[in-house]
Amino acid sequence: MDSTRADPSTPVTIAYIAETAGVSVPTVSKVINGRSGVAAETRARVEALVNEFGYRRPAPPNRGDLMELVFEQLEHLWGTEIIRGVQRVARKHHVGVVLTEFGPQGSAIRYWIDDAIERRPACVVTVAQLTQEQRDQLRARGIPFVVFDPMNELPDDVPFVGATNWSGGRAATRHLAGLGHRRIAMVGGPDQVLYCRARLDGYRSALDAERLPADPALLVRAELSLEGGLAAGRELLARPDRPTAVFAANDLQALGVYQAARERGLRIPDDLSVVGFDDLPVAALMDPPLTTVHQPLIEMAVAATELALALGRGEQPPQLGVELATTLKVRGSTGPLSDPVQRS
């Protein structure tokens, strides 16, 4: 191996080292970046040339200029509100945003992790729910992350931003009870989703506070979608002792309940009061406009991004878990119980 350089004044390149060592450019790249898949003898030969020529890796891009926003599936206006909040903070800090959607296939997350490690962003805001192994991978590379609106219980050392889902569920149900409704149904979300359980617990707490029975027949679980709300609404409204009010776990379910009510010729709110959760922009455009629990999605995304960037700067925030308050937005979809017989 002749390592004499024809022109010592020119900078050393990976291609030159590869040619001199008699190996490929990807092999040299693996050695320089400390990756596996290179024979020990080859690695030693390449490392010797790197040291001899004084090769230095080009400085990587400033990781402070890039952050990552990760979704499992980017659907509906809910995700759009989150993106708006993240971009608001990113613009303020002059940070670029990489938007990643890894889809429903669980194996795809591994490719996202690999790409993120290669990019080395300043931080990650993840709407997707990461496993312990995936969190450990990010930590091992020094990439801080914040979980947005956790779906599962998290260890105490995992930063997150959420909302007061229990309080929101309680406020929605007490509002309906205050209007005189006694048969108040709930379209709940998947039981394994943490914030769905919190909204359901708030519903049950309000029933207890109003001394109303928690009738199991008035609880139907469904997917957090228009189709889920439609199926649940059809089931509830087909009963001879149908509810006079329905609290849905999100606005899309509430939209499905609207459709189910109209199929049966029921008027909202004269025959059926409906409350949703999230306060997506579509809620104010529904007919009638939807009474719903306002979840401050944009503000939550702002808080999550600020927290993630602070962690990326090496700062220690006063708390790793943040919950923003929900508020009830009363619109035209709720009204007093029209049938006095059902008040008893």
At 249-266, the pLDDT tens digits run 999 999 999 999 999 999
Judged against a pLDDT cut of 70, whether residue 48 lies above it is answered with: yes
Looking at 83-87, 149-153, 158-162, which range is the least confident one? 149-153
User: Any idea what the CATH number is for the domain that residue 11 is in?
Assistant: 1.10.260.40
pLDDT at 245: 97
Judged against a pLDDT cut of 70, whether residue 5 lies above it is answered with: no
d(CA 32, CA 217): 64
d(CA 300, CA 271): 35
pLDDT at 11: 65
User: Any idea what the CATH number is for the domain that residue 155 is in?
Assistant: 3.40.50.2300
Whether 176 and 215 share a structural domain: yes
Whether 148 and 84 share a structural domain: yes
Judged against a pLDDT cut of 50, whether residue 73 lies above it is answered with: yes
pLDDT at 120: 85
pLDDT at 341: 45
Whether 81 and 211 share a structural domain: no
Closest CA to 315 of 323, 306, 304: 306
Whether 302 and 223 share a structural domain: no
d(CA 261, CA 249): 17
Whether 249 and 317 share a structural domain: no
Whether 87 and 203 share a structural domain: no
Buried b (16+ CB within 10 A) or exposed e, 281-296: ebbeebeeebbbbbbb
Query: Region 91-104: what's the mean pLDDT?
Result: 83
Helix and strand element counts for the chain (H, E):
11, 12
Among 22-26, 114-118, 122-126, 226-230, top mean pLDDT goes to 226-230
Total structural domains within the chain: 3
Judged against a pLDDT cut of 90, whether residue 202 lies above it is answered with: yes
Share of the chain above pLDDT 90, in %: 54
Cβ neighbour number for residue 210 with a 10 Å cutoff: 15
Whether 276 and 193 share a structural domain: yes
Boundaries of domain holding 249:
165-296+328-343
Higher pLDDT, 35 or 6: 35
pLDDT at 85: 94
278 pLDDT band, cuts 50/70/90, is very high
Whether 289 and 214 share a structural domain: yes
Whether 302 and 287 share a structural domain: no
Task: Name the domain boundary from 12, 40, 58.
Answer: 58
Judged against a pLDDT cut of 90, whether residue 336 lies above it is answered with: yes
Query: Region 207-235: what's the mean pLDDT?
Result: 95
The size of the chain, in residues, is: 344
Whether 174 and 288 share a structural domain: yes
pLDDT at 229: 97
pLDDT tens digits, one per residue of 157-172: 899 999 999 999 999 9
pLDDT at 62: 52
d(CA 166, CA 81): 21
Share of the chain above pLDDT 70, in %: 87
Whether 135 and 23 share a structural domain: no
Buried b (16+ CB within 10 A) or exposed e, 41-53: ebbebbeebbeeb
Higher pLDDT, 296 or 112: 296
Whether 336 and 189 share a structural domain: yes
